[in-house]
Amino acid sequence: MTGRTGLLWDTPLMFSRLIEDCGAACESVNPNMLASPFWRGKFAALIVPTGFANPAYSNLLPALRAAEGRIRRFVENGGRLLVFGAGCSREDAYDWLPFPVTYSFGYGPRAVRFAGESTFNSLFSGYDLDAVECDGSFPAHGGETLAATPGGETLLVGKPLGDGMILATSIHEYPSREFLKEFSCGDRETLF
């Protein structure tokens, strides 16, 4: 199994240590690299951390928009993309994804209920499902609701695209080790 994961952010993050502890090699991808049409990388997965659309934390959003076509091809060709909460109230925060996603910002604990059996439910493994810290929800989207609150706030959206998968989540915690071991490692790496 290969396991190179691209962690998209302005500066190195501690998150990379968790990814590496789960068996994947982690490469930091900054906005300049991401937006450059000349930069190439090969990954099993890409991860966009919480707060990517909030200019107080990151300058990643313009680079994601510039790389929109490459992100789509990456997923279609078998890559996996995990996108966390935008971290601010921006209706256009997810307009670079190849399907519509509307995000509603609002930090606080939420009870999590799964819509059905999914390998991606492991994202929440080890957490108290009655009080998972989240930074919002997805009131409208063009994917499948995989997890939501008992009141219907969507917290995890899945969207298969070609041979790959896109997950959008508003969990404000690191994903579980179990999830990262499965998500970050794969049979192949895909050119980005």
> Which positions ≥6 away from 69 have C-beta within 8 Å?
none
User: Which pLDDT score is estimated for 1?
Assistant: 54
Report the alpha-carbon distance of residue 118 to residue 158 in Å, rounded: 10
Residue 161 has pLDDT above 70, yes or no: yes
**Structural domains for the chain:** 4-191 (3.40.50.880)
> Could you read off the pLDDT of 66-76 as tens digits, one per residue?
999 999 999 99
Place of tokens 């068996």: 23
**Number of residues written out for the chain:** 192
Q: Is residue 84 a contact partner of residue 48, using CB atoms and an 8 Å limit? A: yes
Considering only residues 190 and 152, tell me which one the structure prediction assigns the higher pLDDT: 152
**Cα(39)–Cα(34) distance, rounded to whole angstroms?**
7
Does the pLDDT value for residue 115 go beyond 80?
yes
pLDDT digits (tens, 9 = 90+) for 120-129: 999 999 999 9
- Counting residues of the chain whose pLDDT is more than 70, the rounded percentage is 99
